[in-house]
Amino acid sequence: MRWRGKRKSSNVEDRRNTQVSGAGGFGRGGGGILRLLPMIFKVLGFKGTAILIVGVGAYGLFTGNLGNMLGGLGLQQETSTGVSTAPLTETAAEREQVDFVAVILADTEETWSSLFQQRGMTYQEPSLVLFRDAVKSACGMAQSAMGPFYCPADQQVYIDLSFFEQLKNQFKAPGDFAQAYVIAHEVGHHIQTLLGISSEVHAARSKLSAVEGNKLSVKQELQADCFAGVWANHANNSRQLLEAGDIEEGLTAASAIGDDTLQKQSQGHVSPDSFTHGSSAQRVKWFQVGFASGNMESCDTFKGS
């Protein structure tokens, strides 16, 4: 990618020198709704009560109010999360990665600002948080093992730079465009939040079975892949950011993190009903759809659902 010397986004927040510890467990306080559980159980039965608790927890996680809601349930955390800072140490390679991330984020801002303006809308730029090992977001605590993620509650993308090494070594998807694809996919989730798609999916999933809910989640993830392709189209045609072989790197990354590929590696077989992000073929297909068209409207993965 021809990224060096390009504009860097000012929306990168570096928390790599922040250490988060003491996540703690949940206590057994008897306050709040917990006191009413016997009555709720009598009215709704075991299944109804379980569905209620899971629904409340899911809503709290999505909105970033899980801690307050757990407090209301009488399940507040007994130990607080400790946050400390230390002088930041980084290698020259890490510094270059930070610059790369800032440039790619800036380029997504160029694309989506333009596309939103064409729709008569103003693009609200997300922040991108860099962290190491663990991070506290409005969606709760997260470990690096979760991989990059987007939190709709604070509209921020979270990335531990070590994931890029994992992408290269474990998933066999090297290259700077493979990394850019990951960033663009998470920004795609931000687009879904701004357009109200994420909230619609969340509301619909709450009324579905686990299997049907997973299918809806897959469609949401595939749309984010398609939006990443839309960005790549504009990065290439408007700003000539891509070089020969870059798209192949992106397709390799999309294929490497498909649900079927990851399940084969981890458990030796594939369970389509448990897919949450889509198969390798689906992820590749929808990235290609977005890249070929450069058009948001081409990314309706929910059509016919």
- How far apart are the C-alpha atoms of 73 and 134, rounded to whole Å? 26
Sequence-separated (6 or more) residues with CB below 8 Å from residue 165: none
Task: Please give the structure tokens belonging to residue 15.
Answer: 């928390």
- Determine the residue type at 210: A
Sequence-separated (6 or more) residues with CB below 8 Å from residue 232: 177, 180, 181, 184, 242, 247, 250, 287, 290, 291
Neighbours of 85 (CB within 10 A): 9
- Smallest Cα–Cα separation from 224: which of 301, 110, 128, 117? 301
Instruction: Answer for the pair 195, 184: CB distance below 8 angstroms, yes or no.
Output: no
Q: Going residue by residue through the chain (305 aa), what tens digit of pLDDT does each one get?
A: 999 999 999 999 999 998 877 543 323 333 333 334 444 444 455 555 555 554 545 445 444 444 444 444 444 443 445 666 777 888 999 999 999 999 999 999 999 999 999 999 999 999 999 999 999 999 999 888 888 999 999 999 999 999 999 989 988 888 999 999 999 999 999 999 999 999 999 999 889 898 888 889 989 999 999 999 999 999 999 999 999 999 999 888 888 777 656 675 566 665 666 667 778 889 999 999 999 999 999 999 998 65
| Span 131-190, pLDDT tens digits | 999 999 999 998 888 889 999 999 999 999 999 999 899 888 889 999 999 999 999 999
**Cα 47 to the center of its chain, rounded Å:** 30
β 127-130/156-159 pair status? parallel
- Smallest Cα–Cα separation from 100: which of 187, 169, 15, 175? 175
Task: Please give the structure tokens belonging to residue 163.
Answer: 């994931």
Task: Please give the structure tokens belonging to residue 288.
Answer: 């290609």
- How far apart are the C-alpha atoms of 202 and 215, rounded to whole Å? 12
| Span 261-275, pLDDT tens digits | 667 556 666 566 666
Give the H or E element holding residue 188: helix 176-194
- How far apart are the C-alpha atoms of 91 and 97, rounded to whole Å? 10
- How far apart are the C-alpha atoms of 305 and 162, rounded to whole Å? 37
- How far apart are the C-alpha atoms of 182 and 220, rounded to whole Å? 15
- Output the pTM of the full model: 0.77
Q: Mean pLDDT across the chain, nearest whole number?
A: 81
The pair phi, psi for residue 19, each rounded to 5°, is: -110, 130
